[in-house]
């Protein structure tokens, strides 16, 4: 029995050693990097503004969510109803897409970054850094105070900065994929590989403890 426990521990440890190494390395990286900095919160400028509801001159039925947003000098409304999502001005008129000049002004006023290039993102790709966001989006490449490139993803109607992506975030994303064993989408923590290797790691730990304390086994 003791030989069975010893061999189980030895071969299991060897089999899962690479994944244990990746769990350890990624865990260390997570513990030494603040998630707020990874998400680029340090580049955002928070601005609070008053809203006069008397200026709202429209009505909608079956509203599920109403959000007021400051877009440059205007207050706009994002209305989510049973009919979908609408972007409206204070008179209920649908908004047009932002142009390049407006997007650059929004980046300049809403962040500490300097915009340099601009493009529209129409299609999603597997494991993209803007996954989980509604398309289309504007992608703006900007520079921080150290002239490092930062990618901003901006709602084409509201001007909201929906994601800030840097090299630090990309490393975090890679480590997260290693950690949860989802190397493509890097989002699925309910995958078979993670479950199997977690159970094997548990068995390896238990057999190691048994061997360390030299527990007697019946032959």
For residues 152-178, average pLDDT? 95
Return d(Cα 88, Cα 111) in angstroms, integer: 24
pLDDT of residue 41: 95
Return d(Cα 17, Cα 199) in angstroms, integer: 14
- Is 121:107 a contact under the CB 8 Å cutoff? no
For residues 100-112, average pLDDT? 95
pLDDT of residue 216: 56
pLDDT band of residue 8 (cuts 50, 70, 90) is confident
pLDDT of residue 217: 54
- Is 164:150 a contact under the CB 8 Å cutoff? yes
Return d(Cα 68, Cα 27) in angstroms, integer: 39
pLDDT of residue 6: 75
Return d(Cα 172, Cα 177) in angstroms, integer: 9
- Per-residue pLDDT tens digits for 58-71: 777 778 888 888 89
Domains of the chain, residue spans: 2-36+172-212, 41-165
The number of beta carbons lying within 10 Å of the beta carbon of residue 144 is 16
For residues 24-46, average pLDDT? 94
The number of beta carbons lying within 10 Å of the beta carbon of residue 26 is 19
């Amino acid at each position: 029995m003791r030989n069975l426990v010893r061999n189980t521990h030895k071969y299991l440890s060897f089999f899962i050693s690479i994944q244990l190494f990746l769990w350890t390395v990624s865990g260390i990286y997570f513990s030494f990097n603040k998630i707020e900095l990874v998400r680029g919160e340090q580049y955002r400028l928070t601005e609070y503004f008053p809203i006069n509801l008397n200026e709202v001159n429209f009505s909608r039925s079956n509203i599920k969510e109403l959000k007021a947003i400051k877009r440059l000098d205007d207050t706009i409304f994002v209305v989510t109803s049973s009919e979908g999502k609408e972007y409206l001005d204070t008179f209920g008129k649908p908004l047009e897409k932002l142009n390049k000049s407006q997007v650059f002004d929004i980046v300049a006023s809403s962040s500490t970054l300097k915009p340099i290039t601009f493009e529209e993102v129409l299609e999603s790709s597997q494991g993209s850094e803007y996954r989980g966001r509604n398309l289309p989006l504007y992608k703006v490449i900007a520079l921080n105070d150290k002239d490092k490139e930062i990618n901003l993803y901006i709602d084409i109607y509201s001007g909201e900065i929906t994601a800030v992506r840097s090299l630090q975030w990309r490393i975090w994303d890679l480590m997260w994929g290693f950690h949860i064993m989802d190397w493509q989408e890097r989002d699925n923590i309910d995958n078979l590989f993670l479950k199997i290797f977690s159970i094997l790691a548990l068995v390896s730990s238990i057999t190691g403890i048994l061997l360390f304390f030299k527990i007697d086994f019946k032959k």
